[in-house]
């Protein structure tokens, strides 16, 4: 059970997904580049819809970068730079599968001092350090971050 939402997308379901699915939050952080914040953080919900209602790292990683890129390019495009963000989302998901067994919440879980470093490492340079600094303190109380 979540304790609240992040009211930034303008869509209650998309906001709820950010608190219920740790991969959604990571993807939102990844997409928060060169687009309005609300659009970036609505991206995981849009991706979930385009993937048939499921958003998990294993599915995205198994699809391959070209297929995810095509999903990002479908009209309307999911990002200002759908090709590169699609490939980065695939790389992020593959990293989460390889290093965290597909559990994106494990990046933060139980990691108070190491949170920023783990976040930076997990996203392999895909997003700026500022995003990693901004979120850990606010999300530590969410259930999936333990």
- Indicate the DSSP class of residue 41: H
- Residue 107 domain-assigned (yes or no): yes
**What is the domain range of residue 21?**
12-145
Q: Is residue 5 part of a domain?
A: no
DSSP assignment letter at 78: S
What pLDDT does residue 146 have?
45
Q: Please name the residues in contact with 65: beta carbons below 8 A apart, sequence gap of 6 or more.
A: 86, 87, 90, 91
| Rounded distance between C-alpha atoms, residue 42 and residue 71, angstroms | 15
Residue 127 lies in a domain: yes
Question: In CATH, what number is assigned to the domain containing residue 17?
Answer: 1.10.340.30
Report the domain count for the chain: 1
Residue pLDDT, tens place only, 68-99: 999 999 999 999 999 999 999 999 999 999 98
How confident is the model at residue 8, as a pLDDT?
Answer: 87
Q: Indicate yes or no: pTM above 0.85.
A: no
The confidence score (pLDDT) of residue 2 equals: 45
pLDDT tens per residue, range 124-145 = 555 454 555 555 444 444 444 4
pLDDT in tens, 26-50: 999 899 989 999 999 999 999 999 9
């Amino acid at each position: 059970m979540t304790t609240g939402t992040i009211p930034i997308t303008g869509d209650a379901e998309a906001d709820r997904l950010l608190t219920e699915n740790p991969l959604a939050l990571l993807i939102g952080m990844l997409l928060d580049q060169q687009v309005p914040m609300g659009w970036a953080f609505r991206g995981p919900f849009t991706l979930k819809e385009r993937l048939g209602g499921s958003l998990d790292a294993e599915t995205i990683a198994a699809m391959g970068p070209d297929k995810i890129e095509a999903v990002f390019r479908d009209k309307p495009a999911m990002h200002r730079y759908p090709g590169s963000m699609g490939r980065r989302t695939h790389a992020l998901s593959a990293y989460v599968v390889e290093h965290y067994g597909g559990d994106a919440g494990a990046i933060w879980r139980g990691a108070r001092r190491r949170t920023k470093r783990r976040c930076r490492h997990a996203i392999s340079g895909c997003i700026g350090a500022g995003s990693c600094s901004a979120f850990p303190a606010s999300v530590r109380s969410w259930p999936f971050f333990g």
